[in-house]
Amino acid sequence: MQLTQSASLLDRLPAPVASQKPLTFENLKQAYGFVLYRTTVPGGGSKMLKIKDLRDYAVVMVNGKRVGTLDRRERQDSLLVALPAGRVQLDILVENLGRINFGEYLLQNTKGITRSVALGGQELTGWQQFGLPFDQAPAVAGPRAKALAATSGPALRTATFTVATPTDTYLDMRPWGKGVAWVNGHNLGRYWAIGPQQTLYVPAEWLRKGANTVTVLELLKPQQSALTTLDHPILSELRALGAL
């Protein structure tokens, strides 16, 4: 199927919470999902962006365009970013990848940007936080829903498909990058092309005879629109991060 109805995630943000310094998920009373951190900075030239104690994965955007990612698992906390002239909108979309339930981090387990953000050695202040727990499927339809232009930021895509007889099936996410998928409003879980799980299970009970809806939030490959299904899972296929 082709997920042709689409929207930029940045066009589907809720009301923000303002603060001088970044707020954690816990400060925002949010247990899971994503938080988008936004501030404005003076542009011009290239500067080093450093996030102190990122937890856990971040997509960094400048004026809505993705300029890089940071991954706590790889001990990444810095990124050289090129800034156009003028005032620049800096967005950092942070994903909570799950909580550590053992060892020293058991009681040091806050999520989001847990300390500070610096650009060119200067700490950034004046943040807006947009909570995106996605406990419900995000709405894609709306006045700004359209075919995505050449954007590199996170994208929402949706489509309606028809089922003759509901049965267990699997979404094949191998061509996609990283994100979350929903069917008929049910959160199927997260996917990441690095594997080993390359499919998302869709129980027959979550499908309806007739029209059904699938929605995908894609972080890394916003132009991806084709989605296929399989009658079996793929649970043992690994891929290098560089392949993305």
pLDDT digits (tens, 9 = 90+) for 10-21: 999 999 999 999
Residues in the chain: 244
pTM over 0.75: yes
> How many whole angstroms separate alpha carbon 221 and alpha carbon 227?
13
Q: Check whether 40 has a pLDDT greater than 90.
A: yes
Q: What is the pLDDT of residue 234?
A: 97
> How many whole angstroms separate alpha carbon 130 and alpha carbon 162?
34
Q: Check whether 198 has a pLDDT greater than 60.
A: yes
Q: Is 67 helix (H, G, I), strand (E, B) or coil?
A: strand
pLDDT digits (tens, 9 = 90+) for 128-170: 999 999 988 999 976 555 555 557 899 999 999 999 999 999 9
Q: What is the pLDDT of residue 101?
A: 86
Whether the CA torsion 177, 179, 182, 187 is positive or negative: it is: positive
> How many whole angstroms separate alpha carbon 32 and alpha carbon 228?
28
Q: What is the pLDDT of residue 152?
A: 81
Among residues 217, 165, 211, 163, which one has the least CA distance to residue 187?
217
Instruction: Count CB neighbours of 123 within 10 A.
Output: 12
Lowest-pLDDT choice from 98-102, 141-145, 217-221: 141-145
Among residues 52, 28, 55, which one has the least CA distance to residue 130?
28
Q: What is the pLDDT of residue 149?
A: 55
Asked if residue 141 lies in contact with residue 148, where contact means CB atoms within 8 angstroms, the answer is no
Q: Check whether 57 has a pLDDT greater than 80.
A: yes
pLDDT digits (tens, 9 = 90+) for 186-196: 999 999 999 99
| Percentage of residues of the chain with pLDDT beyond 70 | 94
Confidence of residue 104 (pLDDT cuts 50, 70, 90): confident
Asked if residue 63 lies in contact with residue 84, where contact means CB atoms within 8 angstroms, the answer is yes
The four Cα atoms 54, 59, 64, 67 give a dihedral, to 10 degrees, of 100
> How many whole angstroms separate alpha carbon 82 and alpha carbon 77?
17
Asked if residue 175 lies in contact with residue 229, where contact means CB atoms within 8 angstroms, the answer is no
Q: Check whether 27 has a pLDDT greater than 90.
A: yes
Alpha-carbon distances, residue 148 vs 9, 106, 151, 218, 224 (angstroms)? 11, 41, 7, 12, 10
